[in-house]
Amino acid sequence: MKGELKGDRVVMGSDAVEELYNVLYYGRLKDDTLELALVEAAYLLDREKISVDSNGRSLSFRDLFIEASHLQEYFELKYIVYRDLRERGYYVQPGVTDFRVYPRGGKPGVTASHLFVHVVTERKPLPLTQLISNLQAAINVRREMALAIVDEESDITYYGVKFQRMRGGMGPLDVEMKKGVATLMADRVIVWDQGMSLQLHEKGFYGNMLDEKRLQLSLIESAYLMKKYGLAILDTQTNEPLKLETFIQKTRTIDRDFEGKLKVYEDLRERGLVAKTGFKFGSHFRVYLKIENIKKIPHSLYLVDYIENGHVFDLPDLSRSVRLANSVRKEMVFAFEKDGAASDKGGIASDSGGVQYFSLGRIKL
Amino acid sequence: MKGELKGDRVVMGSDAVEELYNVLYYGRLKDDTLELALVEAAYLLDREKISVDSNGRSLSFRDLFIEASHLQEYFELKYIVYRDLRERGYYVQPGVTDFRVYPRGGKPGVTASHLFVHVVTERKPLPLTQLISNLQAAINVRREMALAIVDEESDITYYGVKFQRMRGGMGPLDVEMKKGVATLMADRVIVWDQGMSLQLHEKGFYGNMLDEKRLQLSLIESAYLMKKYGLAILDTQTNEPLKLETFIQKTRTIDRDFEGKLKVYEDLRERGLVAKTGFKFGSHFRVYLKIENIKKIPHSLYLVDYIENGHVFDLPDLSRSVRLANSVRKEMVFAFEKDGAASDKGGIASDSGGVQYFSLGRIKL
């Protein structure tokens, strides 16, 4: 069967419709011809199912491949992923996020596709807004969403992307906040009263014991306890209680993302979850659904990173975060603050508050 | 026993020498008195071994702790680490990189310390130059070097730091480079000749097969093969072979660290190692000692990241890299180019070439 390269399509004659379209589900019908996308044409040419002419000359696979790379940005990446999906036995159609993939046993025109795939190279930074708008596009038509990241050596890693509902089982804290027993040191707070230390630690899993008598709180925990429960924290210089604004101002010089992280921390606590530092995992928080007994700490299910609304993912970094989370059997979750404008425009779905969560995890296709 | 806070020391009377110094190895003798560092004094005060006066007033632990935090930067971190080491049963003395630690069973004045510990907070960026100069200070007196990183919640992670000798078992490549069979696409190179593709892939573990007939090379591999073995790569626009300089110039727009990474890649290959992309691990390279048979790829031992000479480590990032490497049983290695000035000044040890390697790994004390 012979086709003709026209623009960024290969147009086949009506003789191709029966086998390629009706039986093998390649291409789209246009009048009585069949139009193939460049990836489809290259794949079929390599398998010697078709030949492709351009200006009266028959193209080799190499000719078509190079020609296609001029006609379509990142053609070679899309080809690598298209080929991989086809070789795994999936039917694939071009779609708004690069490809629509049909479930095993499913067929274009007969069943619905189940997955939207977006192809990216590890070298190109990926804006959060683009990731979310692709995810939203998939969700709007009730499809799942996957990123196919192609690395330097053309290995493909597939990541499933989904919005994440966060819900935990911790109730509000019931601890009497004594005055004059907590001090701000350089970048942490120490609680000097043994009774209050033990209660904060045991009832709410706040802080870490410095020794048997004294508790250390992180700056985030301290700010939350000040704001929500009126914890009083003394300045070491003046021995006077710090105002919340002054405290936050001081922390901002230590950690410029402090307020964003605090917003996520607050949101997690309000949802009944326990967030602790994720430093050992290189992320902002590790998150527990519930801690009933300080002596039996359960597995933390999530690693959560706060990202800015305008965040741009570096893909090797993203890959490392997700891989690490998965290696310790946790989900890698990203949290950002929705702004009014973005949700008006893009309609970012959410179940409460101003913080949106989504997770990325490696998937096997 | 009673001591007096003087400057950033606590001075004990001669009655303290016998028990604190001769038996328990705290402090340093000065004439017939014993001088304690602030961490030592706070630790002994908490254990009610001593009392500490300042201006005729007896200090509580809290008083001394807050006072000390004004006298010594990051006192609270150093205290946390000092306490941890002591509780683990080590004798510890103050030293040039914060602490000198004595091996179990060893004692100050009797045996030598074996480990230099440098204490850092996760929040403070760590310059490469500082890390290397501490490592060098330890090596100069034949000690090991560890970083004690204290996180937000005052958990300590100890990392061993050491220079790394890199040696592999691969010989030089013996492949005939045909002309006109390799093309630069957007960010990768495709070799169209089946024979050459298979030889490059099987003899040197270069690239990744696109399909049964064609090989994809990464930009780094391509540049190395051009430079060292004269691989000819065609431009898709002109169909002419690219000059090495033009090729490198093109890659620089895709990856601004390209030349640094290429230098490390070359050095690794020249040392007989096989470096492949470490993308899936979020690092620049995964490195094999030797690959004899492409069908039986062994475990890669190292993850290697190129860093600039003036690099400053973000500690949560560093923690994530090391943790991920260790979770897949690899060593996390960093590689930087020594510059003449730095090695004149600091004497950065090296066994060859212009690239210096060092590794970081979590250690249990």
Q: Do B320 and A320 touch (CB under 8 A)?
A: yes
Can you tell me the mean pLDDT for B108-129? Answer: 93
Residue B218 contacts residue A153 (beta carbons within 8 Å): yes
Detail the DSSP E strand segments found in A151-264: 156-163, 182-184, 189-191, 208-209, 215-217, 234-235
pLDDT tens, position by position, B296-311 = 999 999 999 999 999 9
Q: What is the mean pLDDT of chain A?
A: 92
Res. A28: pLDDT tops 80 = yes
pLDDT band at A338 (very low <50, low <70, confident <90, very high): confident
Can you tell me the mean pLDDT for A29-47? Answer: 95
B213: in domain: yes
**Which uninterrupted H or E stretch holds B358?**
strand B355-362
Q: Are residues A106 and A190 in the same domain?
A: no
pLDDT tens, position by position, B14-31 = 999 999 999 999 999 998
Q: Are residues A10 and A158 in the same domain?
A: yes
Q: Which residues of A touch B283 (CB under 8 A)?
A: 316, 320
Res. A22: pLDDT tops 80 = yes
B168: in domain: no
User: What is the rounded CA–CA span in Å between residue B228 and residue B262?
Assistant: 12
Q: Which residue has the tokens 């632990």?
A: B61
Q: Which one of A257, A286, A315 terminates a domain?
A: A257
pLDDT tens, position by position, A129-153 = 999 999 999 999 999 999 999 998 8
User: What is the rounded CA–CA span in Å between residue B297 and residue B116?
Assistant: 38
User: What is the rounded CA–CA span in Å between residue A194 and residue A26?
Assistant: 72
Between these two residues, B341 and A328, which has the higher pLDDT value? A328
Q: What is the CATH number of the domain that holds A210?
A: 3.40.1170.20
A310: in domain: no
User: What is the rounded CA–CA span in Å between residue A200 and residue A233?
Assistant: 14
B284 belongs to the catalytic site: no
Q: Which one of A257, A287, A318 terminates a domain?
A: A257
Among B65, B154, B188, whose Cβ lies nearest the Cβ of A208?
A: B154
Q: Supply angle C-alpha A203, A206, A212, rounded to 5.
A: 85
Give the residue among A308, A302, A312 at the shortest CA–CA distance from A333: A302
Facing residues of B71 across strands? Answer: none
Residues 6+ apart with CB under 8 A from A219: A187, A188, A189, A251, A254, A255, A258, B152
Q: Are residues A79 and A212 in the same domain?
A: no
Can you tell me the mean pLDDT for A207-213? Answer: 92
Can you tell me the mean pLDDT for A249-268? Answer: 93
pLDDT band at B340 (very low <50, low <70, confident <90, very high): low
Q: Are residues A112 and A187 in the same domain?
A: no
Q: Do A155 and B277 touch (CB under 8 A)?
A: yes
- Give exposure, A307-328, as e/b (b: 16+ Cβ within 10 Å): beeebebebbebbbbbbbbbee
Q: Are residues B231 and B349 in the same domain?
A: yes
Q: Which residues of B touch A279 (CB under 8 A)?
A: 122, 151-153, 155, 157, 315-316, 319
**pLDDT more than 70, % of chain B:** 96
Q: Are residues A62 and A7 in the same domain?
A: yes
Q: Which one of B99, B132, B163 terminates a domain?
A: B163
Q: Are residues A76 and A189 in the same domain?
A: no
A115: region left, alpha or beta (phi > 0 left; psi from -120 to 50 alpha): beta
Q: Which residues of B touch A219 (CB under 8 A)?
A: 152
How many CB atoms lie under 10 A from the CB of residue B354?
13
Mutate to test the interface with A, among B67, B81, B187 (most CBs of A within 10 A): B187
Q: What is the CATH number of the domain that holds B300?
A: 3.40.1350.10
Range of the domain at A225: 172-257
- Give exposure, A134-163, as e/b (b: 16+ Cβ within 10 Å): bbebbbeeebbbbbbbbbbbbbbbbbbbbb
- pLDDT for position B350: 43
Res. B58: pLDDT tops 90 = yes
B332: in domain: yes
Q: Are residues A64 and A212 in the same domain?
A: no
pLDDT tens, position by position, B219-233 = 999 999 999 999 999
Q: Which residue has the tokens 């691989």?
A: B231
- pLDDT for position B136: 95
Residue B65 contacts residue B14 (beta carbons within 8 Å): no
**Number of domains composing chain B:** 2
**pLDDT more than 90, % of chain B:** 86
For helices A61-71 and A38-46, what crossing angle results, to 10°?
A: 170
Give the residue among B264, B262, B254 at the shortest CA–CA distance from B334: B264
How many CB atoms lie under 10 A from the CB of residue A120?
21
Q: Are residues A9 and A119 in the same domain?
A: yes
pLDDT band at B150 (very low <50, low <70, confident <90, very high): very high
Q: Which residues of B touch A220 (CB under 8 A)?
A: 152
Q: Do A279 and B183 touch (CB under 8 A)?
A: no
Among B77, B183, B210, whose Cβ lies nearest the Cβ of A66?
A: B183
Q: Are residues B117 and B189 in the same domain?
A: no
**A250 φ, ψ (degrees, to nearest 5):** -65, -45
pLDDT band at A186 (very low <50, low <70, confident <90, very high): confident
DSSP states along B204-266: H--SEESSSS-EEE-HHHHHHHHHHH----EETTT-SBPPHHHHHHHHHHH-TTHHHHHHHHH
Q: List B residues 34-93 in contact with A (Cβ-Cβ < 8 A).
A: 46, 62, 65-66, 69-70, 73-74, 76-77, 80, 83
pLDDT tens, position by position, B208-266 = 999 999 999 999 999 999 999 999 999 988 889 999 999 999 998 888 899 999 999 99
Mutate to test the interface with B, among A194, A320, A326 (most CBs of B within 10 A): A320
Q: Is A255 exposed, middle or buried (0-12, 13-18, 19+ CB in 10 A)?
A: middle
User: What is the rounded CA–CA span in Å between residue A38 and residue A238?
Assistant: 72
ipTM: 0.87
Q: Are residues A159 and A176 in the same domain?
A: no
Question: What residue of B is the nearest CA neighbor of A153?
Answer: B218
Q: Do A155 and B280 touch (CB under 8 A)?
A: yes
Residues 6+ apart with CB under 8 A from B168: B268, B271, B272, B273, B274, B287, B288, B289, B290
Give the residue among B20, B22, B47 at the shortest CA–CA distance from B36: B20
pLDDT tens, position by position, B159-218 = 999 999 999 999 999 999 999 999 999 889 999 999 999 999 999 999 999 999 999 999
A154: in domain: yes
- pLDDT for position B119: 97
Among B74, B123, B188, whose Cβ lies nearest the Cβ of A254?
A: B123
Q: Which residues of B touch A281 (CB under 8 A)?
A: 319-320, 323
Question: What residue of B is the nearest CA neighbor of A87?
Answer: B211
Question: What residue of A is the nearest CA neighbor of B213?
Answer: A46
Residue B116 contacts residue B134 (beta carbons within 8 Å): yes
Q: Are residues A239 and A158 in the same domain?
A: no
Nearest CA-CA distance, residue A242 and chain B, Å:
16
pLDDT band at B109 (very low <50, low <70, confident <90, very high): confident
A249: in domain: yes
